[in-house]
Structures are given as structure tokens and as C-alpha cells.
Amino acid sequence: MLIAFLAWTVNQGIKLILFYMADNKWDWGRIFGAGGMPSTHSALSVSVAVSIGFLEGWDTSLFALAGVFAVVVMADAAGVRRATGEQAKILNKLISLFSKDARFKSERMEELIGHTLFEVIMGAIIGFLTATILSILFLAI
């Protein structure tokens, strides 16, 4: 659990810094927000699988389950959730066109939901490295 939390913290810290570099302002809401570079869902799920591999064994049913879970999470982030974000962009454009009509009011939909394949891969690498380094350190103690 500690390794997963640290992988989440490292990944969200990187994400916060990258958003700052892009917008030149701190967006503290990004700490808990979905989407963006790198994928925290990927980092978290891969760190759990790698931690289980180190602690329980690479040939266990538990590691296999965690590995499959990580693949499903990453496929969902780059597939369904990404498509949802793209649809939200289009819907927000349509809403802005029709919002001039007083009878039609709606809030903007969240557009940054899913991830590109690159964001998913980078999150997976961060999760793998975090879990590997920390697992080796913890096992050495």
C-alpha cells in the first residue's frame, strides 16, 4: 500500500509540474484530477502489480491478477476514457453555440478525462520504476 501511495504521489507531483510548465500557473485541482500527462491510473496499477511480483513472486496467481488488472486499467484510460474526453470537447463546442439561447443553459463537461498512449506508457514507466526501486530498498532492509 505504501509503494502504491508513493507511486501516486510521485506521478501526481510530475503531473502538477508539467501543468505548471504548460500554463505558467499552479493548478492545485490537478492533484486529484483525472487525465493529463502522465497517467496516474497507469502508474498506480503497474506499481501494485510490480510490488506484488517482488513481494509474493512473479509466478503467483496474485501477480497474474494484478498484471491483468493493470492492463485493463491502462486500456480503459487510453480507450473508453479518452473517447469520452474527446466527445466532451465536441459537446462543449455545441453547448457554447447554443448557450446564447436563454432557454438552453448547461455546465461545461470535463474534457481532460482519458490519456494518449504516450501518457499511459509514461505512467506505467513511473509506476514500474517507483515500485522497483522501493521494493528493492524495502527488501534490502
Q: What is d(CA 14, CA 34) in angstroms, rounded to the nearest whole number? A: 14
pLDDT (average), residues 99-119: 68
Between 79 and 126, the more confident residue is 126
What pLDDT shows up at residue 60? 98
Contact yes or no for 82/118 (Cβ under 8 A): no
**Would you say residue 59 has pLDDT above 90?**
yes
Per-residue pLDDT reduced to its tens digit, 22-49: 888 887 777 777 677 889 999 999 999 9
What pLDDT shows up at residue 124? 96
- Where in the chain are the domains? 2-79+114-140
Between 122 and 91, the more confident residue is 122
CA-to-CA dists, residue 132 to 11, 135, 141, angstroms: 15, 5, 14
Between 111 and 115, the more confident residue is 115
* % pLDDT > 90, the chain: 43
